[in-house]
Structure 1
Amino acid sequence: MGLFGVLPFLLVSCITFLLILIRRRDATKGKLPPGPTPLPLLGNLLQLDVRNIIKSFQKLQEQYGSVFTVYMGSRPIVVLCGYGTIKEALIDNAETFGGRGLIVSVDEAIRDYGVATTNGERWRQLRRFSLKTLRNLGMGKRSIEERIQEEAQFLVEALRKTEGHPFDPTIHLSHAVSNVICSVVFGQRFEYEDKQFVFLLEVINKCFWELLSTSSQMKNFFPRLMRILPGPHQKMPKYVKELINFVSQRVQIHRESFDPNCPRDFIDCFLAKMEQEKENPTSEFHNENLDVTVLHLFFAGTESVNTTLRYGLLILLRYPEIEAKVQEEIDRVIGRNRSPSLEDRSQMPFTDAVIHEIQRFIDLSPVPPPRSVTCDTHFRGFSIPKGTAVVPFLSSSLHDPQHFETPRKFNPRHFLDERGSFKNNEAFLPFSAGKRVCLGEGLARTELFLFFTAVLQNFHLESLQKREEIDISPDVRGSSKLPRPYNLCVVPR
């Protein structure tokens, strides 16, 4: 057989092989929800834009409805769209949809430890302990609210030093928000110029941007291949090691002054639990889980609140009439001579509505880390095998037209009734829902209210642009939305 006879034979053989693989995959996946036809090895890579997963999911929702399946390489992922679907899965069937799916882009050294990425008994024990500890710290001698109020005043003083000149608020807000979680976890805040503090924030920021990078998104499709290919994603183990070393050093400092009868912060409480269970060979309270849980709290308590505050100030620059109305409410309820407190929130419905609408509108984490089903389950006429990854597409709930009158526009009236009182909206799920709802939701809500009101109590916001030129559309990075870079001026009131 000559060369020209071999080539058609090889081509037919390859096509036949690919068709057999597709048929086998279809046979083994049962009645998974519909979705684009995956290719062997590639999955749906060619049908998805890894630089904008959000837009890809929106198109697939229009085509396939509220439940569909996509393949990340060979891994099927079931995507849930719309508040009704997400509620039915995560809330009505919370136990079944309460597992944590594999997060490939997270460094393997920490994936099996801590409170955010684990499953089973380890996750249950660590989450129960973390929730209880954060709640107790909120009711202790020095509450979390007091820590935030103190940090808000440091932030106000830092903003005063800008003396009305234009600046990028990213660093100021990052320092303030990170110091809150430092106070909760380490029992102390850092001066904004502290070298260790600056180093910690720089490494966390590098990790954050690496998780948003295209190479990390590609790692979800081809984990084995990306593990050996060069690229920015290979830096993650180095960053994680630096963060673990930092946390370990702080833990050692705590051990040297540890008093089990007087815990000062989260680390002390964890050390006390370790001491209590030291005779238990199956205890989940050990050094690895302590270090990684602290890292999880840092990530949950730093970037999300910082970004929400930064995006919120940009929106208020675009809508100065809303800023003015918030400040009128602040002056009437709080005045200028005392710090805002959580007790004020119930008397400030418009401010509360604005903060909720900021969270809804910016849609910070439209595609959260995947869940997994904990058993074979039937859902809306489909069969989902145990262990299958499930992603609640939160953007489809936060912009659900059945629950929000103008879903694509910034509109605080979404959270106000006819009398101007605050009203909850069940489709408001910025922290997700169910068993895996964000561990730091309560802390984040407290920070957002106290920081926003402290800044607006003391300053007017001014932009270098005309309000009509201010772009509040998101800068989409993979599966996240970020505010576009901007400068502003803060002028004392």
Structure 2
Amino acid sequence: MLGTGGCVAVLVVSLLILQFLKMQWASRKLPPGPIPFPILGTLWCFGFEWHQGSLSKFSKVYGKTFTIWIGHMPMVVLNGYHAVRDVLINHSKETSWRIVTPFVRDTMHGKGILFSSGHTWKQQRRFGMMTLRTLGMGKKGLEYRVQEEASYLVELFANTKGKPMDPSSFLFYSVSSVISRVVFGHNFSIQDEIFHKLIECIEYEGHFFLSSFHLLYELCPWLMRYLPGPHQKAFSCLEFIHSFSRKEIQNHKEKKKLDDSWDFIDFYLEEIEKNKGDPSSTFDEDNLLHVIYDLFTAGTDTIVSTLRWVFLCMVVHPDVQEKVQKEIDAVLTPSQCISYEDQKSMPYTSAVIYEILRFNFVLLAGTFRQCGSDTTLLGFPIKKGTIIIVDIASALNDPEQWETPQQFNPNHFLDKDGNFFIREAFIPFSAGPRLCLGEKLAKTELFLFITNVLRAFTLQLPEGMTEVNTRPVEGRFAVQAHPYVICAVPRKTIAA
């Protein structure tokens, strides 16, 4: 007869077999994909590590629409530009719902913009877009703030006197200062302890999102909620950001401002007052907390990650850096203030920036969504509630759209006459209704920060260093460059 241990083993094996059969049955109604196993799903196919480009390998076997499993959850992947565009544009209504995993549910509560869906998302996004425009996004007002921060970034670089430095903290300060002015109405001192804590929390959240502990939380939330580990720090980081935001909201409620000095929080508080008594309104302080989180984190982390790739690229490709500097010198005088309008006269510089956005796309894949209703994607019937992975990275590396997708090549954005042009497959900010809210601000920041720095300095490796690691840091939500040090050497043309 079997002992207690034997009975338990038989029970576990039986449950695993039952789960395996259920997954095989469910797979019959989904697009093809690797065989899923209980607990593991199809993680065994990834070698338990997910890299940018991993999904494209499966598309060669299973086609542009296929299924992977994370644990017991199936996820339908759309890979390649045409498949991605079909979902983002032609099926946006059915697929614009956000995925609600246990961790997302426990942290975001369906509020804000990035992680909300349906009526809440529509109201919050519409208000966010309208208010950012009012505050000057895409206009000279907000551009002036970016110009100020770009000038200060040049000062920070100049203070290093050409000695080796890690530009990360300077970049975080400059980029976050722009969004801080928009949201809070002020920026921080670079020595401010609260600022450093906020940046630390933003970075940690990004690092945690695709860590092993995040995966464990999604698979066993009922257990992980009560266990110690990095997921508990992720919760405390989110609470620190919310706690800071609550204080800012209270300060705004206590201080009445002139109309011309209003910021995002001021406009949102006014909207709460306007909608009091409206049962359909989603405007409240809880949603405001999450919108602040969305704007502050999304408006900082991805731009900083991109700028770190830009400056690394300049030292790895000194010939590219030199061409950009020559173009800047030809268009601008040393004392002339650079404006976003100047990009029209700088085709090569624009091509370099866009190529870095393509080649060093800062997300592992793209956006995770959920079907809000039954639909058909590329001939496959997809049920309501199915998780969709729109692999934007695959569109940016689609060999049918780019001549040298695996190489850094600014010529992807230059015609035969050297004129700048944008390809249809260039969608790092997504497309359709979920298009990045801060796309215009991001492009303005990238152009002004890059051109101001490269007009003033030549970026190079420290003396004696001949190589730098250009492989991306793996296992993070944002695909980041390894930590590095560079020297910002003042250019003679500027010094003169």
Tell me the TM-score range normalised by the shorter chain: over 0.9
Is the 8 Å Cα contact of residues 137 and 441 (structure 2) preserved in structure 1?
Answer: no
Letter of the 2:409 counterpart? N
The whole-number CA distance in structure 1 between the counterparts of 2:138 and 2:314 is: 35
Is the 8 Å Cα contact of residues 318 and 467 (structure 1) preserved in structure 2?
Answer: no
Letter of the 1:132 counterpart? M
Report Cα offsets for 1:114-134 as digits up to 9, x if no partner. 111011111000000101111
Query: Paired residue for 2:279?
Result: 281
Query: Paired residue for 1:138?
Result: 136
Letter of the 2:479 counterpart? K
Instruction: Report the Cα offset of residue 41 of structure 1.
Output: 3.8
Moved more, 345-354 or 52-61: 52-61
The whole-number CA distance in structure 1 between the counterparts of 2:226 and 2:54 is: 27
Aligned length: 490
Is the 8 Å Cα contact of residues 367 and 392 (structure 2) preserved in structure 1?
Answer: no
Q: In the alignment, which of 270, 273, 282 is matched to residue 272 of structure 1?
A: 270
Report Cα offsets for 1:416-466 as digits up to 9, x if no partner. 001111111111121222222222212111110110011011111111278
Give the 3-state SS of the residue equivalent to 1:80 in structure 2: strand
Query: Paired residue for 1:90?
Result: 88
1:119 counterpart = 2:117: yes
The whole-number CA distance in structure 2 between the counterparts of 1:182 and 1:19 is: 53
Instruction: Report the Cα offset of residue 162 of structure 1.
Output: 0.2
Instruction: Report the Cα offset of residue 266 of structure 1.
Output: 0.8
Relative to structure 1, the CA distance from residue 16 to residue 281 in structure 2 (aligned partners, 3 Å threshold; closer, same or farther) is closer
1:359 counterpart = 2:353: no
Letter of the 1:447 counterpart? E
Give the 3-state SS of the residue equivalent to 1:370 in structure 2: strand
Give the 3-state SS of the residue equivalent to 2:209 in structure 1: helix
Query: Paired residue for 1:310?
Result: 308
Map 1:124-273 onto structure 2 (within 5 A).
124-138=122-136, 143-259=141-257, 261-262=259-260, 264-273=262-271
Letter of the 1:327 counterpart? Q
Is the 8 Å Cα contact of residues 101 and 369 (structure 1) preserved in structure 2?
Answer: no
Instruction: Report the Cα offset of residue 111 of structure 1.
Output: 3.1
Unaligned runs of 5+ in 1: none
The whole-number CA distance in structure 1 between the counterparts of 2:323 and 2:45 is: 45
Query: Paired residue for 2:459?
Result: 461
Instruction: Report the Cα offset of residue 14 of structure 1.
Output: 6.2
Is the 8 Å Cα contact of residues 365 and 430 (structure 1) preserved in structure 2?
Answer: no
Moved more, 280-289 or 11-20: 11-20
Instruction: Report the Cα offset of residue 211 of structure 1.
Output: 2.2
Is the 8 Å Cα contact of residues 260 and 268 (structure 1) preserved in structure 2?
Answer: no
Give the 3-state SS of the residue equivalent to 1:278 in structure 2: coil
Is the 8 Å Cα contact of residues 328 and 455 (structure 2) preserved in structure 1?
Answer: yes
Is the 8 Å Cα contact of residues 302 and 478 (structure 2) preserved in structure 1?
Answer: no
Letter of the 2:232 counterpart? Q
The whole-number CA distance in structure 1 between the counterparts of 2:253 and 2:8 is: 67
Identical-residue share of aligned pairs (%) = 39
Instruction: Report the Cα offset of residue 303 of structure 1.
Output: 0.8
Relative to structure 1, the CA distance from residue 36 to residue 225 in structure 2 (aligned partners, 3 Å threshold; closer, same or farther) is farther
Is the 8 Å Cα contact of residues 416 and 422 (structure 1) preserved in structure 2?
Answer: yes
Give the 3-state SS of the residue equivalent to 2:479 in structure 1: strand
Report Cα offsets for 1:282-334 as digits up to 9, x if no partner. 32111001111000101111110001001110011011111111111111112
Letter of the 1:319 counterpart? H
Letter of the 2:239 counterpart? K
Query: Paired residue for 1:368?
Result: 366
Relative to structure 1, the CA distance from residue 478 to residue 168 in structure 2 (aligned partners, 3 Å threshold; closer, same or farther) is closer
1:323 counterpart = 2:321: yes
Query: Paired residue for 2:494?
Result: none
Is the 8 Å Cα contact of residues 107 and 237 (structure 1) preserved in structure 2?
Answer: no
Letter of the 1:342 counterpart? Y
The whole-number CA distance in structure 2 between the counterparts of 1:417 and 1:433 is: 24
Give the 3-state SS of the residue equivalent to 2:187 in structure 1: coil
Relative to structure 1, the CA distance from residue 222 to residue 365 in structure 2 (aligned partners, 3 Å threshold; closer, same or farther) is same
Is the 8 Å Cα contact of residues 212 and 480 (structure 1) preserved in structure 2?
Answer: no
Q: In the alignment, which of 438, 446, 459 is matched to residue 436 of structure 2?
A: 438
Query: Paired residue for 2:341?
Result: 343
TM-score (normalizing by structure 1): 0.93
Instruction: Report the Cα offset of residue 367 of structure 1.
Output: 2.0
Query: Paired residue for 1:471?
Result: 469
Letter of the 2:165 counterpart? F
Relative to structure 1, the CA distance from residue 422 to residue 466 in structure 2 (aligned partners, 3 Å threshold; closer, same or farther) is farther
Report Cα offsets for 1:235-275 as digits up to 9, x if no partner. 12211111111011111111112348556111111111111
Letter of the 1:295 counterpart? Y
Letter of the 1:178 counterpart? S
Q: In the alignment, which of 412, 415, 426 is matched to residue 414 of structure 1?
A: 412
Query: Paired residue for 1:108?
Result: 106
Give the 3-state SS of the residue equivalent to 2:135 in structure 1: helix
Moved more, 67-76 or 306-315: 67-76
The whole-number CA distance in structure 2 between the counterparts of 1:254 and 1:178 is: 20
Moved more, 280-289 or 473-482: 473-482
The whole-number CA distance in structure 1 between the counterparts of 2:465 and 2:391 is: 32
Report Cα offsets for 1:321-370 as digits up to 9, x if no partner. 11111111111112211221111011111100000001111121132341
| Structure 1 runs (4+) greater than 6 angstroms displaced | 9-14, 139-142, 465-468
The whole-number CA distance in structure 1 between the counterparts of 2:291 and 2:418 is: 41
Instruction: Report the Cα offset of residue 107 of structure 1.
Output: 6.7
Give the 3-state SS of the residue equivalent to 2:411 in structure 1: helix
TM-score (normalizing by structure 2): 0.92
Instruction: Report the Cα offset of residue 481 of structure 1.
Output: 1.7
Relative to structure 1, the CA distance from residue 478 to residue 52 in structure 2 (aligned partners, 3 Å threshold; closer, same or farther) is farther
Q: In the alignment, which of 56, 74, 77 is matched to residue 76 of structure 1?
A: 74
Query: Paired residue for 2:479?
Result: 481
The whole-number CA distance in structure 1 between the counterparts of 2:174 and 2:468 is: 25
The whole-number CA distance in structure 1 between the counterparts of 2:58 and 2:210 is: 22
The whole-number CA distance in structure 1 between the counterparts of 2:45 and 2:84 is: 24
The whole-number CA distance in structure 2 between the counterparts of 1:223 and 1:412 is: 45
Map 1:4-43 onto structure 2 (within 5 A).
18-28=16-26, 31-43=29-41
